[in-house]
Amino acid sequence: MKSPLLLSATAALLALAACNSKPNSAEVLDSNPDPMANALANRGPVELPPAIKAEKTFRCKDNSLLYVTLFEGDKLALVKTTQTGTPTRLTADKAGDPLVAEGGWKLTGDPKTITVTQPGKPSQSCKS
């Protein structure tokens, strides 16, 4: 009767003795300083890309189609003249300004109606 009690008491003491096994000092894994630590600490805030607000197909006055992706913040849009074509990136400095791109692109409007000027074509309105 005494030996199971003695055995369980010994096991309990060993378990408790292992609980206070903290190292005396912090463990150093790498002694080389991080060369970018200062640059990372002083960097500016990260700006996430805007979320997609609407992805629409517009029918224009000349009966052509435009495939437009509008983004939140109203400062970015992608325009394609064919469904599988390369998108043209139109940007604005602030919300409410016309979206423009090199070559003469200009776009204003909302997800229901836009006015677009394409290179070599007059300005026309388009509806989704």
Q: Measured between alpha carbons, how far is 125 from 90 in angstroms, rounded to an integer?
A: 17
Q: What is the pTM of this model?
A: 0.65
Q: Is the dihedral of CA 119, 123, 124, 126 positive or negative?
A: positive
**Residue whose structure tokens are 């400062």:** 75
Instruction: Find, among 87, 85, 79, the residue nearest to 58 by Cα.
Output: 79
**Using one digit for the tens of pLDDT, what is the confidence trace for 59-87?**
999 999 999 999 999 999 999 999 999 99
**Using one digit for the tens of pLDDT, what is the confidence trace for 35-57?**
888 888 888 888 888 999 999 99
